[in-house]
Amino acid sequence: MKTAASVAHAPVPRADNRLPGLLDAAARRFAERGYAATTMRDIAEGAQMLPGSLYYHFPSKEHLLVAVYEAGVRELDEAVAAATARLTEPWARLEAACTAHLETILRDSDYAQVLIRVLPHDVAPVAQRLTDLRTQYETRWHTLLAALPLPPRTDRGAMRLMLLGALNWSRFWFSPEGRHTPAQLARKYIVFLKDSHHAR
């Protein structure tokens, strides 16, 4: 019987030049169909591999999901880090972070979509690992919000969760042909946050 402990201590995937294509295929299937509805056969088909060949790289679908999650977190984190690297003003840094996050999830990045669509509690054997990866990314946002000049009693944790929730939800209604670009939407989020606290 497979347990969370056995998943957490499984061997590291083997290096192979087909690994990037395999991860791309897995991310695409997970993003399109969700984790539960995707089979290893589906992923193998997308990667143009034999189903049995997947197990050369990953012992289970759960381990493959963790690898996709890691790539998705890295993609978002690097985008936000690059966008904020040369900025010092707290509100400007937060706006740049929002823009980078939106641009990443709205450009049809399969990896970022998996982070939004597949939640840790959906996959019990690796729930803690997935939660840790999400927390790792949210730590950057904790730092960004901690630097804002807000009233002392502001619940910055709740603000972070609501902001990330709003950013992620945009994938369900955003249209490239719509009135706003990701950067314009990010600006609106920041204006709303500023106005709500200045009105106190």
pLDDT on residue 197: 63
pLDDT attached to residue 2: 37
Q: DSSP characters for 150-199? A: --TT--HHHHHHHHHHHHHHGGGT--TTSS--HHHHHHHHHHHHHHHHHT
Q: Return the pLDDT at 174.
A: 86
pLDDT tens string, the chain, 200 residues long: the values are 333 333 444 444 444 577 889 999 999 999 999 999 999 999 999 999 988 888 888 999 999 999 999 999 999 999 999 999 999 999 999 999 999 999 999 987 899 999 999 999 999 999 999 999 999 999 999 999 999 999 888 899 999 999 999 999 998 888 878 788 999 999 999 998 887 765 45
Question: Can you read off the two tokens belonging to residue 50?
Answer: 């034999």
Helices (H), the chain: 4-8, 19-33, 40-47, 51-57, 61-84, 90-106, 110-117, 127-146, 156-169, 182-198
User: Which burial class, exposed, middle or buried, applies to 194 when counting CB atoms under 10 A from its CB (0-12, 13-18, 19+)?
Assistant: middle
pLDDT at 172: 86
Please tell me the predicted confidence (pLDDT) of residue 18. 79
Confidence (pTM): 0.84
CATH topology of domain 61-198: Tetracycline Repressor; domain 2 (1.10.357)
Q: Please give the angle made by the CA atoms of 191, 193 and 198, to the nearest 5 degrees.
A: 90
